[in-house]
Amino acid sequence: MIPNNSGREQWGSRAGFILAAAGSAVGLGNIWRFPYLAGENGGAAFIFVYILCVLLIGIPVLIAEVLIGRSAHKNPVGSFKSLHPSPFWHSVGGIGVIAGFVILSFYTVVAGWTLGYIYEAINGNLLQYSLPDIAQSHFSDLLADAYWNVGLLTAFMLLTMGIVYFGVQKGIERGSKIMMPMLFILLLVLMIRGLTLDGASKGLEYLFNPDWSKITTGVVLAAMGQAFFSMSLGMGAMLTYGSYMSMKDNLPAASIWIATLDALIAIIAGISIFTVVFATGQNPDVGPSLIFRTLPVVFTKIPGGFYFSILFFIALTLAALTSTVSLLEVVTAYFVDEKGWSRRKAVVVFGFAALLLGVPSALSFNILADFKFGEFTFFDLSEFLSSNLLLPLGGFFISIFVGWVWGFDKVKNEIRQGAESLFDKYPWMLNYWKFILRFVAPVLIIVILLSSIGII
C-alpha cells in the first residue's frame, strides 16, 4: 500500500483492491461451505437461488458497502459516524464488528482442520483413502479428538494474530497475489479429474439440473446466508478494504469482478466435489465433513497425488488465512481507530477472545456434541446466527442507508468517481442500482428472514 495525500494508506495498485477483497471473499466459504450447503439443500435448486441472491442482493450491496468505506476512509463504525450523526447508524457498524468476531471464532475451527490436513497430506495419510468411507472414518477419528481440534484452532488463531499484528497491508496484498492464482489452478486440476471419473455425469446432473420442489424457505435462507458469507458482506470487512481504495478506481467494475470470481470458484469447487460424491456412490448431504471425505479420494487418482494434496491443503489454508485476517482486522481497526487502543493490544485481546469463543465450537464435534440448542450444536448455532441472521441484517441496513438515508445526490457523486465512463455509457445502471438498494434488496432480505422464522 502507498500513502495518498491525506496520509492514509492505499492499495498499491489497481489490482490490489480486487485481489485483497477477493482474498477475503474466497476461502472456506467457497470450498468447504458452499459444497456442503448445496449437498444439504438439494443441489441445483440451491445453486440457482444462490446465484439469484448474488445478482439481486449480493452485488448491489457489495457496491454499496465498499462505497461507504471508500467515501469515509474509516472502519465500519467510524465510517457511519462520519457519514451520519445518528447513533443508530453507528450501531449498525457495531453489529458488524460483533458478527465478524463470531464468524472468526467458528471459521478458525474449520481453518484448523485444513491446517491439520497439511500434516495428514505430508504423512501420506490421505493417499490411503481410495474410498470415501475410509476417508470419512479417518476424519471422524480426528474430529473426535478434542486436543486435535482445540490445538489446531489455537495454532490457526495465533497465525492470524501474527499477520494482523505485524501489519496486514503488505501481507495481505502480496500474499493474495500468489495464493489466489495457485488455488485457482489446483482447483481446476481437481475439477478436471473429477469430470473424467466414471459416473461424473450424475454429479453434474445433481449440480445443474434443478428439482424445483426442493426449494423451501430454509433453502432460500441458506442460499442468501451463503451469498453474504461467501462475499464477506454485511459486517464491514469489504467496507474496511474499500476504505483503502483510491478514488480513481472503478468501484462497480471491481465489485463485479470480485463477485464473479467468488461465485466461479465456488462452482468449480462444487464440480470437483460432487463428481466424486456421485462417482463413488456417496450421499451428498453429510454436512461440514463433506470435503474432508471426498477430496482425499481424488488425490489417490491423480498422478503425483501426494505432492498435489500437500499443495492443495497449503493453498486452502492460506485462502482461509486471508479470510480470517480480514475478520480480525475489522475488530482491530475498530478498537484502534475508535477506542484509541494500540494495534498490538487490540490484536492480542480480541484474538484470544475469539479463540475462547471458538473452543466450544471446536468441542462441538466431540465432548460437546450432545450439548444442543434445539438441533444445533454450539458450532452450528454460531454459524447459523452470524451468517443467516446478522450478515443479512447488516446488508439490509447498508442498502437502506445508501438507498434512502445518505442522500442519493451524494451517493451518485461518490460512485461516479473512477467510473464516469461506465455511467456515461450506461446511465440506466445508476437507476437500476438505486432501485435495487431501495426496494428489491431490503424487501427480499426481510421477507426471507421473516418467512424463515415462520412469521410470514
Q: Is 25 in the site for ligand TRP (CB under 6 A)?
A: yes
User: Looking at beta carbons only, is 200 or 321 nearer to ligand TRP?
Assistant: 321
**Stretch of 126-134, 170-178, 183-191, 225-233 contacting ligand TRP, by CB under 6 A:** 225-233
Distance from C-alpha of 419 to C-alpha of 407, rounded to nearest angstrom: 19
User: Looking at beta carbons only, is 230 or 332 nearer to ligand TRP?
Assistant: 230
Q: Which helix (H) or strand (E) holds 429?
A: helix 428-435
Instruction: Name the grid cell of 288.
Output: 461440514
User: Looking at beta carbons only, is 112 or 305 nearer to ligand TRP?
Assistant: 112
**Judged by CB under 6 A, how many residues of this single chain contact ligand TRP?**
17
Q: Is 180 in the site for ligand TRP (CB under 6 A)?
A: no
Q: Is 397 in the site for ligand TRP (CB under 6 A)?
A: no
Identify the residue among 17, 80, 229, 335 touching ligand TRP (CB under 6 A). Answer: 229
Number of neighbours of residue 356 by Cβ within 10 angstroms: 10
Report 268-327 residues binding ligand TRP (CB under 6 A).
323, 326-327
Instruction: Name the grid cell of 155.
Output: 495454532
Query: Is the torsion defined by CA of 129, 130, 136, 137 positive or negative?
Result: negative
Identify the residue among 1, 11, 24, 83 touching ligand TRP (CB under 6 A). Answer: 24
Q: How far is the CB of 18 from ligand TRP (least distance, A)?
A: 15
Distance from C-alpha of 136 to C-alpha of 300, rounded to nearest angstrom: 15
Closest CA to 405 of 429, 434, 372: 434
User: Looking at beta carbons only, is 27 or 93 nearer to ligand TRP?
Assistant: 27
Closest residue to ligand TRP, judged by C-beta, is: 29
Distance from C-alpha of 94 to C-alpha of 96, rounded to nearest angstrom: 5
Q: Is 226 in the site for ligand TRP (CB under 6 A)?
A: no
User: Looking at beta carbons only, is 225 or 305 nearer to ligand TRP?
Assistant: 225
Q: Do 284 and 39 meet the contact criterion of CB atoms below 8 Å apart?
A: yes
Instruction: Count Cα atoms within 13 angstroms, Cβ side, for 164.
Output: 30
Instruction: Name the grid cell of 136.
Output: 470419512
Q: Is 332 in the site for ligand TRP (CB under 6 A)?
A: no
Q: Is 27 in the site for ligand TRP (CB under 6 A)?
A: yes
Identify the residue among 22, 72, 237, 265 touching ligand TRP (CB under 6 A). Answer: 237
Q: How far is the CB of 334 from ligand TRP (least distance, A)?
A: 14
Report 238-267 residues binding ligand TRP (CB under 6 A).
none
Distance from C-alpha of 146 to C-alpha of 156, rounded to nearest angstrom: 15
Q: Is 103 in the site for ligand TRP (CB under 6 A)?
A: yes
CA distances for 12 relative to 179, 247, 420, angstroms:
17, 13, 22
End-to-end CA distance of the chain: 48
Residues in a beta bridge with 3: 9
Q: Which positions lie near ligand TRP, rule CB under 6 A?
A: 24-25, 27-30, 100, 103, 229-230, 232, 235, 237, 323, 326-327, 391
